[in-house]
Every structure is written in C-alpha cells, then in structure tokens.
Amino acid sequence: MRVLSSITGSQGHARDMLPLIRAIADAGHDVLVALPPSLAHIYEVERVRVAAVLPEMHDSIMAVVKEGTEKRIREAAETGLPVAPPPELTAFDEMLVMAGGPHITPTYHAIMALALDFKPNLIVRDSAEIAATLVAEQLGLRYICGPSGAGDMVDPVRLVDLLNERRAEIGIPAAHDPAALYRYGRFDSVPERYGFAAFDVPYAIRYRQSPIVARDEVLSREITDLPTDKPLVAAAMGTVLVQLREFFQFGPPQAEDPSKVLLQAIAGGLSSLDCYAVLATGGLSMEGIEVGDNVLVVERMAQPLLLQCADLFLTHGGYNSIRESMFGGTPMAVLPQFGDQPFHADLLQKMNLGRVVPETTAQSVHDTCRTVLDDPAITQEVRRAHREMLALPSVDTVVPHLESLALP
C-alpha cells in the first residue's frame, strides 16, 4: 500500500499524526509525508519519505491577511468609499478561512505534483489540511483524516462554498455535500466522551495514542533529580511562544513582546507556588525574567513522558498537549492564546479536566494552578479520562482498516 499523508500547521499537528503514520510505515507500507519544511525534522528518523514542500503556517496566515486586505482595497476602489477595517472574526471563522481560503490552492498543486509521481493508493490527511481532499477527488482516491484540534473547529457546511471557489480556481467540478469532507471516515485518539468536535461530523474510529512520540525520548537527569516532597508542575506552551514572537516582529506594532509577557506570567506564577516546576521555553530567552529556585527552566522537555509523572500541566491548550495530558492522567491549567486554544480551554473546563487561567498574569497563573491542585473533583474526572484513554485500542489496530480502504 502506498499512502500519501499531508500535514499543515504547527509541530502539534505533525505530532498528532505521527503515531498513525508510524503505525502504517511499521506495518511495511510505503508512506510519503508532505509537510512544511519546519516540521520535516519530526519525521526524519521514521521509516517514511518526507517531502517538505507545503507552505509554512505563518506564510499561510500572511497570505490570508494579504488576500483580505487586497479584497477590501478593491471594494473601496469600486464603490469610492474608504477602505473598510478588517472584519471581526470568531475563532470558528478563522479556522474556516485557514481551511479553505485561497492560500490552499498552491498547496493543492504541490500535493497533486507529489501524488502524480508517487501514485498513492490512499490519502491520510491532517484534518486541518483540506487541499489533499481536492487532490483525492480529482484522482479518484479514497481519503481519511487524522486527529486535529483545528480540524474539529471547521464547519463542513460553511466550508462547501469556500471549497467550491477553490475547485473553480483549479478547474474541477463543484461539490455540494458537506459530508464529503469525511466521506471515508475520520480518526481520533480520545474517547467519545471527551471528544472536541464542534460540529455534526461522522463518528470517529478511535485509537490509543502512544506516550512515546520520539523513539529516543527520555526524561533528563535534571528532571528526575527534582525532589518529590511537593507537587510537580510541567509548564509548556508548545510553539506558541515562538509564534507570538513572530507576530510581534512581523505583525502590527505592539507595546510589549507578548511572548515575554506570557513567560513572565508563567515564571512568576510558578515561582510563588508551593511546588517544583519544569518550564520549557521553546528556546526563547529568559533574560530579565525572575525565576524562583523551585522552577527548572529548560529549552525543551520530553513532554509525553513528563506528563506520566506530573501532578499538573500548565499548557496553552493545543489538542496534542491536551491529549497527552489526558493519557498521562494529569490535570490541566490552560492559558490559551489564539486559534483553537480558547475553544479547547473552555471545553476542557466544562469537562472538569482542569481550569482556564483567566488572565496572563503571575497571580492568575498561581491561583488557577493552586485551585486545580486542590480540587478533588478535577482529579477524579482526570482519572476517569485516563482509564478511558487506556481502554482505547492500539493505533496498530487501525492499519487493517486503512488497507481495506486503499484502492488497488
């Protein structure tokens, strides 16, 4: 079986898909992974081919902003009115545009070129990467999508018109069935009770996420040597810190670097908490930020492994991080920043798996972490989620289903 997989977005998206892609490759199948260059390193040690030809997420965001600006300028020229300000979009609007906006047409052409050469029997896409669906339509292939928090926020009904605009650009027939997005199914790796799908979508085939993402991953000695007489808090924001720094450097003027504001709040809140904490900075400088002796600052950490022994996870609310925390049985304090993160944070709080940090301040971080650590109801619900995660079948069990979908 030859499987073409397409992945967009951040490192979280690539890690969402990794256990599934690894299972397919380990079963002896030929896998080609198409993704942005910045994500290629995640797959470089796997038994797969890698084509780092898809646009970077920040380039896609800038393309969306540029297209919207140019559209408003054209409308102003046609009407003689002043250029309108950017529309206020909800997070669902943003996810919809990122899924089906004009910027995905170049992605379609990049994936199509790979498909014509590779000749796949099946396409397995990141659920936020929609262009591969159009490639599959054109080539008569079956397709299925993997787990993704951003994809869970895309409304299939509203996506129809956007995708038909892309089909017109590409020169393929229009389609009008919202269910076509999941015609051959979808995967998820959390129990149904804890699913994050925001819209009416087909039932997911669910599998258990492995706690090991990188094959050679281990906890560092400096983490294992931390004392055990107080709660252990893991704090990581995924790639959010780097993305906030990029927005600060290339976006509209702001009074203060938001990545530094976020780091100051996290470091200050954890420093005043009666705990030991591991704070992953993503490589950003901590210069000028005070950190208590109880906080170990690292550039990166083996997050899935640390969450097997942590008492609390302070996270941005990325879907991959939430799933890893549920698998580890670790309650969460969520400090969302943008995109799908506020939606995830609200749902997680409703599920009683943690609490939302209401403000980006040290006091708010401290108070929310203390609340979660002291709340037995949250601990009990997290234990339930942990057990249900362990009851899911191994990811290896879905490979026969994929084999049944693949065309000769």
Rounded distance between C-alpha atoms, residue 81 and residue 73, angstroms: 10
Contact yes or no for 124/205 (Cβ under 8 A): no
Angle formed at CA 76 by CA 73 and CA 78, multiple of 5 degrees: 110
Partner residues linked to 2 by β-bridges = 30
Give, in order, the Cα–Cα distances in Å from 356 to each of 151, 165, 279, 350.
22, 38, 18, 10
Closest Cα partner for 305 from 209, 394, 210, 219?
219
Q: Which two tokens stand for residue 321?
A: 């991080």
Contact yes or no for 150/95 (Cβ under 8 A): yes
Closest Cα partner for 371 from 326, 331, 323, 344?
331
Angle formed at CA 258 by CA 253 and CA 263, multiple of 5 degrees: 160
Element (H, E) at 65: helix 57-79
**Which CATH number does the domain 221-390 belong to among 1.10.3720.10, 3.40.50.150, 3.40.50.2000, 3.30.70.260?**
3.40.50.2000
Q: What's the CATH fold of domain 2-208+393-405?
A: Rossmann fold (3.40.50)
Whole-number pLDDT of residue 68 = 73
Instruction: Enumerate long-range contacts of 80-86, CB under 8 Å, 24 or more apart.
Output: none
Whole-number pLDDT of residue 283 = 85
Rounded distance between C-alpha atoms, residue 114 and residue 232, angstroms: 46
Q: Fold identical between 2-208+393-405 and 221-390?
A: yes
Rounded distance between C-alpha atoms, residue 384 and residue 93, angstroms: 33
Whole-number pLDDT of residue 245 = 60
Whole-number pLDDT of residue 385 = 97
Whole-number pLDDT of residue 407 = 92
Per-residue pLDDT of the chain (408 residues; tens, 9 = 90+): 999 999 998 888 898 899 999 999 999 999 999 999 999 999 998 999 999 999 987 677 777 777 777 777 787 777 777 777 777 788 899 899 989 999 999 999 999 999 999 999 999 999 999 999 999 999 999 999 999 888 899 999 999 999 999 999 999 999 999 999 999 999 999 999 999 999 999 889 999 987 776 777 899 999 999 999 999 999 998 766 666 566 555 555 556 788 888 999 999 999 999 999 999 998 888 888 999 999 999 999 999 999 999 999 999 999 989 999 999 999 999 999 888 899 999 999 999 999 999 999 999 999 999 999 999 999 999 999 999 999 999 999 999 999 999 998
Rg (CA), the chain: 22
The position carrying tokens 């976020």 is 262
Rounded distance between C-alpha atoms, residue 305 and residue 207, angstroms: 19
- The DSSP secondary structure of 185-205, one letter per residue, reads -BEESS-GGG----S--PPPE
Rounded distance between C-alpha atoms, residue 142 and residue 405, angstroms: 7
The position carrying tokens 């997005």 is 181
Whole-number pLDDT of residue 160 = 97
Q: In the chain, where are the structural domains located?
A: 2-208+393-405, 221-390
**Helix 258-271 crosses helix 362-374 at what angle (to 10 degrees)?**
50
Closest Cα partner for 37 from 57, 20, 17?
57
Rounded distance between C-alpha atoms, residue 162 and residue 151, angstroms: 15
What contacts 274, CB < 8 A, 6 or more positions away? 230, 231
Rounded distance between C-alpha atoms, residue 295 and residue 270, angstroms: 7
Element (H, E) at 5: strand 2-6
For the chain, first and last CA: distance in Å? 8
Q: Is 177 exposed, middle or buried (0-12, 13-18, 19+ CB in 10 A)?
A: exposed
Rounded distance between C-alpha atoms, residue 48 and residue 45, angstroms: 8
Rounded distance between C-alpha atoms, residue 81 and residue 83, angstroms: 7
Q: Which pTM was predicted?
A: 0.88
Rounded distance between C-alpha atoms, residue 95 and residue 66, angstroms: 16
Whole-number pLDDT of residue 302 = 92
Element (H, E) at 304: helix 303-306
The position carrying tokens 């720094």 is 245
